[in-house]
């Protein structure tokens, strides 16, 4: 994979776990072009660089929750929550916060790791910007509703419709394109 992954695709791999924006070790390994085992091996060798607010090991309950959030077991993208060969994982995966991802660039010392890390940081910044925009829009909408909400029930219906439009849309995962063997 000589080209870098677009920021929008990386942003789609950012999940929320325990109230934090994180990325799965498997997704990061794919982006960095290394096996998940190697990524986690480097983390273990440099464990002092990854305190609890940088890296979290998921519980079985969180894994099951992510499975249902992302997709059905058979249609999951890039190895998320499944092993390469089967439908079940052997080890509890790790997730990395933005600071943890930044720290990964120091333990995965390759040219690709540096470039991918820059893309990932841009994705986190873009996501943070979108969240701030939504919060500001919601705040302004609430102020307008307070000012005009008492005048007419029709305006309240409009505000409710706008609120529904602001809610994030849950999209079904896109099916993989191309030939697939039944192995």
Mean pLDDT by 10 residues, the chain (183 residues): 65 83 88 87 90 89 76 43 55 87 78 75 76 74 68 72 77 71 68
The pLDDT of residue 149 is 55
Residue 84 token pair: 């390469």
Residue 114 lies in a domain: yes
Instruction: Provide the CA 88 distance to its chain's centre, in angstroms.
Output: 21
- Evaluate the CA torsion angle 103, 106, 32, 92 in order and state its sign: negative
Cβ-based neighbours of 117, under 8 Å, separated by 6 or more: 101, 102, 104, 105
The pLDDT of residue 82 is 46
Residue 149 lies in a domain: no
How far is CA 25 from each of CA 15, 20, 45, 50, 56, rounded to the nearest angstrom? 12, 15, 15, 13, 10
Per the structure, the count of domains in the chain is 1
Residue 120 lies in a domain: yes
Cβ-based neighbours of 21, under 8 Å, separated by 6 or more: 14, 15, 97, 98, 124, 127
Count of beta carbons in the 10 Å neighbourhood of residue 3: 5
Residue 99 lies in a domain: yes
The pLDDT of residue 83 is 46
The pLDDT of residue 79 is 44
Query: Count of alpha carbons within 13 Å of 46, Cβ hemisphere only?
Result: 17
Query: In whole angstroms, what is the distance from residue 46 CA to residue 63 CA?
Result: 25
Domain containing residue 88? 7-132
Residue 141 lies in a domain: no
- Evaluate the CA torsion angle 39, 124, 60, 33 in order and state its sign: negative
The pLDDT of residue 88 is 65
Q: Are 39 and 25 in contact (CB under 8 A)?
A: yes
Residue 163 lies in a domain: no
Q: Whole-model pTM above 0.85?
A: no
Cβ-based neighbours of 14, under 8 Å, separated by 6 or more: 21, 22, 23, 123, 124, 127
Residue 118 lies in a domain: yes
- Bridge partner residues of 97 (DSSP): 22
């Amino acid at each position: 994979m000589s080209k870098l992954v677009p920021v929008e695709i990386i942003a789609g791999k950012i999940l929320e776990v325990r109230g934090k924006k994180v990325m799965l070790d498997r997704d990061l390994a794919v982006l960095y072009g290394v096996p998940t085992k190697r990524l986690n091996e480097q983390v273990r060798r440099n464990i002092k660089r990854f305190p609890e607010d940088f890296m979290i090991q998921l519980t079985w309950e969180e894994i099951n929750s992510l499975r249902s959030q992302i997709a059905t077991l058979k249609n999951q993208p890039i190895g998320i929550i499944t092993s390469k060969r089967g439908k079940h994982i052997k080890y509890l995966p790790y997730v990395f916060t933005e600071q943890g991802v930044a720290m990964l660039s120091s333990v995965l010392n390759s040219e690709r790791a540096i470039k991918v890390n820059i893309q990932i940081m841009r994705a986190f910044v873009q996501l943070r910007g979108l969240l701030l925009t939504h919060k500001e829009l919601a705040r302004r909408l609430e102020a307008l509703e307070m000012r005009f909400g008492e005048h007419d029930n029709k305006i309240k219906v409009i505000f409710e419709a706008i609120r529904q439009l602001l809610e994030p849309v849950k999209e079904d995962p896109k099916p993989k394109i191309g030939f697939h063997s039944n192995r």
